[in-house]
Chain A
């Protein structure tokens, strides 16, 4: 750690108290005093954050600051990592997500996830989109399923491109198409929240633009949390922005506020490119 970083770390330690407006009225999700550990190593410290209904919130911050870890807490994807332990209260519409009685499977159907690298299943395009509907029994017959697949693909702007090749393997699509397919796959289950972990970092600029547009459209019906490395992207797609640093939530505010007039000196340092 060089001296600049060291002094940053001290700033975090001394002045830790999330600035801005982390809390909202009537949010979709509430996170209170969240601490996350990988074995003995703490990755998230005391995070308090509300996630607004039908809004896009973006999470930014340097690599390794815990954005993905935090995001994965929101649909308990961290359960799949043996050494990971989550403490605190995480509520989805006033329901404790980490309650013993909660069915993780159902929770993940309500809070869907899109990953950094497009990860279509090695199945046909149709089967990829139908996957969630099949396991949750969302449709009663083939006609309904066809319809669901079609509407999901239409909503992701992919229908025109793939309607003649629904039975071809999804791995044959381009990267951008694959990522939109993964989004279609996620929305086919009709989730309430969609978590996206750097959904565009493996895509070229044109595919990125398409996906950003899609996120914008989806935000009318879904609550979306997106982790991104690109501040321009955060500025383009999100209404609120949360800045993380070394596992701590430093600042949350309206996106325009964060980028034009950051309150915290660390946020300012990050968006002006002094830490990255």
Chain B
């Protein structure tokens, strides 16, 4: 029996339990003078009985499915031949997967050797047992639970509290899933980063100015031992994000001001959704737009400027060099991408400025633009800053555009016309190659990830703090 059939059976069983609980509660209600003399409504008794039946059975199925693999594994390993006891973890894992291949009919026992035959047999029989036992047990638990629930259907038992409590717990569990996932990710990244810092000293990473993660794959290979200075990546990230913000903040803010203060409601209802379409364009589309349109255009203009500089003897201009992949191109396009972030968040906070402040200003004879400059903008500023910080953390985390338009060269430069690279791009390139999983190169990706996480987390925390302070001002 497969899992989905089992789940269907369990659901059907709980439905039956609901029905029984409902009927039963009405039954007890009759002799004592009707439903109003029960501690609570029949539906609550029915729900309670359903939950009694459903939850233990589901828990059983869940834990069985999660644990059964590893329990069977360890049982099977115990019937490996003596010599296998000395193998390393990884080798054991390899053998185990070969064993399970053989057990499911792929490959032949000859490759492994006859001494593994008992293990294969054991695996086959254990799997069979497990597969038969689980549904049986689950149904037993279902029925037992339903019985317990049935006994709890009493006129004096307020099933409502039980049901409420269970829902409480269920809601709590759901919300903790998100939290635990976050913690899980953070810790796994953290542990891998610790491995990395065992190979590369922390301060070499944090303060190093040279990034070239090429590591000799074979010990005898010529080549670098790799250097993992993160500074060029930070500078590249910040440079591109800065350019993006220089584009997005003025444009986004101005359009927010236009939309919330000047536009008629009709214009607003058309323009606002159109602006938000920008946020829906996949970043890879922005990426090739940057790489194929913006970067070459910048390069062309740069070349023209250089020629013009050379003709007119303007020394520095004559030496202008625009690389075909540039921080400028990536930054501009990324800026366009985050315009809707800035504009829609700013629009919200500008709208949240109470009308009474506008009235106060107009009442003193201020014009609309004076009112915006001197009252609305300052009042909305903390919220706008919050929005900008959120947009900044979006920019810092953005990868696709940079991969396509800014290049991979880890130059330590603040010249927007040169190719630079960012933290996220390096993570991608570190992981797409064929590498051992525990090489410094692969682990570096985790360290970069942790680093990025800390930066964006800090930005988000600051943004939330700022936004919160702003809220307190009017409420």
Contacts and interface: CB of A to CB of B under 8 A. Distances in A.
A109 interface: yes
B367 interface: yes
A82 B264 contact: yes
21 contacts: A75-B363, A80-B358, A105-B365, A105-B366, A107-B365, A108-B365, A109-B364, A113-B363, A113-B364, A114-B363, A115-B360, A121-B361, A122-B473, A131-B361, A132-B365, A134-B374, A135-B365, A136-B365, A185-B360, A186-B364, A189-B364
Contacts of A134: 374
A115 B363 contact: yes
A189 B365 contact: yes
Interface residues of B, number: 20
B357 interface: yes
Contacts of B359: 77, 80, 113, 115, 119
B62 interface: no
Given A105-B367, A132-B365, 4 more contacts: A114-B363, A122-B378, A131-B364, A134-B374
B164 interface: no
Contacts of B364: 108-109, 112-113, 131-132, 135, 185-186, 189
Interface of A: 75, 77, 80, 82, 105-109, 112-115, 117, 119-123, 131-132, 134-136, 171, 182, 185-186, 189
A115 B356 contact: yes
Contacts of B367: 105, 135
B161 interface: no
A120 B360 CA distance: 8
Contacts of B379: 121-122
Interface centre among A77, A114, A131, A185 (most CB of B within 10 A): A131
B438 interface: no
Contacts of B375: 121
Contacts of B264: 82
B260 to A, nearest CB: 14
A250 B378 CA distance: 44
A109 B356 contact: no
Interface centre among B356, B359, B360, B378 (most CB of A within 10 A): B360
Nearest to A118: B356
A77 B363 contact: yes
B362 interface: yes
A217 B470 CA distance: 38
Interface centre among A109, A122, A186 (most CB of B within 10 A): A122
B370 interface: yes
B315 interface: no
Nearest to B373: A135
B273 interface: no
Contact of B374 (A75, A131, A171): A131
Interface in B322-355: 354
Contacts of A112: 363-365
Nearest to B358: A80
Q: What's the dominant secondary structure at chain A's contact region?
A: helix
A260 B426 CA distance: 86
Contacts of A186: 363-364
A135 B367 CA distance: 9
Contacts of B356: 115, 117, 119
A120 B473 CA distance: 12
A108 B368 CA distance: 13
A135 B374 contact: yes
B18 to A, nearest CB: 51
Interface in B216-267: 264
Contacts of B378: 121-123
Contacts of A108: 362-365
A152 B379 CA distance: 24
A109 B357 contact: no
Interface string B366-394: 11001000110011000000000000000
Contacts of A132: 364-366
Interface centre among B358, B359, B370 (most CB of A within 10 A): B359
Contacts of A185: 360, 364
A114 B362 CA distance: 11
B470 to A, nearest CB: 10
Contacts of A106: 365
Contacts of A131: 361, 364, 366, 374
Given A82-B264, A131-B374, A135-B374, A121 B357 contact: yes
A134 B374 CA distance: 10
Contacts of A113: 359, 363-364
Nearest to A106: B365
Nearest to A116: B356
Interface centre among B358, B366, B370, B378 (most CB of A within 10 A): B366
Nearest to B359: A115
A189 B358 CA distance: 17
Contacts of A75: 363
B365 A119 contact: no
A115 B367 CA distance: 18
Nearest to A123: B378
A182 B360 CA distance: 8
Given A82-B264, A122-B379, A135-B370, A77 B362 contact: yes
Contacts of A182: 360
A75 B69 CA distance: 80
Interface centre among A107, A114, A132 (most CB of B within 10 A): A132
Nearest to A117: B356
Nearest to B362: A80
Nearest to B382: A122
Contacts of B358: 80
Contacts of B360: 115, 119-121, 182, 185
A152 to B, nearest CB: 12
Contacts of A109: 364-365
A119 B357 contact: yes
A119 B354 contact: yes
A135 B473 CA distance: 25
Given A77-B363, A105-B366, A171 B473 contact: yes
